[in-house]
Structure 1
Amino acid sequence: MRIAVVGGTGTAGARVAALADEQGHDVVVLTRSAGVNLVTGEGLVDALDGVDVAIDASSPAPPDESMSRFDAVVRSGRNLADASVEAEVRRLVLLSIANIEKPEFDAFSYYVAKRDQEDAARDSGLEVSVVRSAQWFEFAERSSAVDYAEDRVTVQDWYVQPIAVTSVAEVLVREATRRKARDATVAGPEAVRLPELVRRLLRAQHDPRPVVTVDAPLPAFASGALLAPAGAEILGPGVGAWIADRTRAGAQPGAAE
């Protein structure tokens, strides 16, 4: 099977591409360096030529300050859906976020943009699988909610049920290669507050920096609205096992991959 991985050099996309390649699929990685621009649509149709399934694991960023993150995500989603139709891609698998349909998140523009991205895929006429994921464990290492400074780590008070990005990648490839398209929602086995997750990670790595907790941008992030919904597929590892794995691997929180 010829599989295109959109955002194939990112945190999730790189793992998806590697796993699909290990399984013997013909993998095409779509990136800006390869002449593909999701935000403008440049190069998309040509890059998707001959592709059976496209997996969108991208995290589109605006090209400059004249465009918002919201617009970048919305335009990218619509461009990919249109290009997939034109290139006669059979199926589109979209990585999305669990619980974004909840009205509590109407004021969070990124989640609203992800809703639009889902709609663009579903309205395209393609076979579509939307994989909604809870926040990743890796959210604790590098994200807009965690600020690593030399003398402290400032963490927003999110209440999450995190999942390892490797587990998410496995589900994305699974849904890309199954006979019939379907949606899936995935989360990890344990709920934890983000400051506590960061604190445990630092402690395991003998990092003495204190964790300073600040309010999340929306009350819903702290209230439990992000926890696994009914029917979600629960996948390991748990908190302790993931931290142990990251510590053995020598990962440095806050550092670029």
Structure 2
Amino acid sequence: MDTEAEHTERDRSSGFPAGTSPTGTEERSRSARSAGHLSTAPARRALGFSPGRLSLGRAGLLGVGCAVAVLLFSAFVVQPFRIPSGSMEPTLQVGDRVLVNKLAYRFDAEPERGDVVVFDGTGSFVQQPPRENPVTGLLHGAAAALGLAEPAETDFVKRVIGVGGDRVVCCDKGGRVEVNGRAVDERYLHFGDAPSRVPFDIVVPQGTLWVMGDHRSNSRDSRDHLGEPGGGMVPVDKVIGRADWIGWPPVRWSGLEPTGAFRDVRSPDGAHG
């Protein structure tokens, strides 16, 4: 039997030229595509196109965008503030991150007695701000704005005891602070602390605040600056915002409820508040 003729007939019946097969055609097609891809790969690399680079670039831009958004939110709406000392215990503990509401005193609102406020003490609690490297200061400020670092040495957190026009006296016969002749029942004080071991009798100038820590025996506050320029008063326009919530650690999540300690205090003109 003529085997060569048999192979020729099979090739004709299959519809493919002699010496070829569907498998061979597919293999050649794959080879051509691979060769085309390989030929363009160097050009793509030369132009800087790389899937890995594109992904990293997009991730970097997204990270920068998120950081900018968070910093803007912190600058104008709510700022985390890390509690650096025990001067506000037991209300606030060392390491707490409070969320400072920067909108609390916008639109003509002003701090009220009993509010826990964060303020810039430059000119009142700190006469000469410490000098620092501008770059280091910028990085530290950004970290502090996110609650990741200690606040600036000029930033403080205290409770408002007297507002403009108030007469604040310590202490009455019962050892309590008086505001406009009314004794204040300060149940938020640290256990065992006296309202003040430093006697004082002051009238708060308009546009300023008299502030004190809740841990009176462990707080440097308005009392410690009586003899300095400003007399320990904090200008209202130096208030950064009101501490409204404890955001960290999770076991301390809570809002800072308004105190009722000043509900019976009247303003010098006889009105409540």
State if a TM-score over 0.5 links the two structures.
no
Higher relative contact order (CA 8 A, sep 6+): 2
TM-score by length of 2: 0.22
> How high is the TM-score relative to the length of structure 1?
0.23
Question: Which protein shows a greater Rg?
Answer: 2
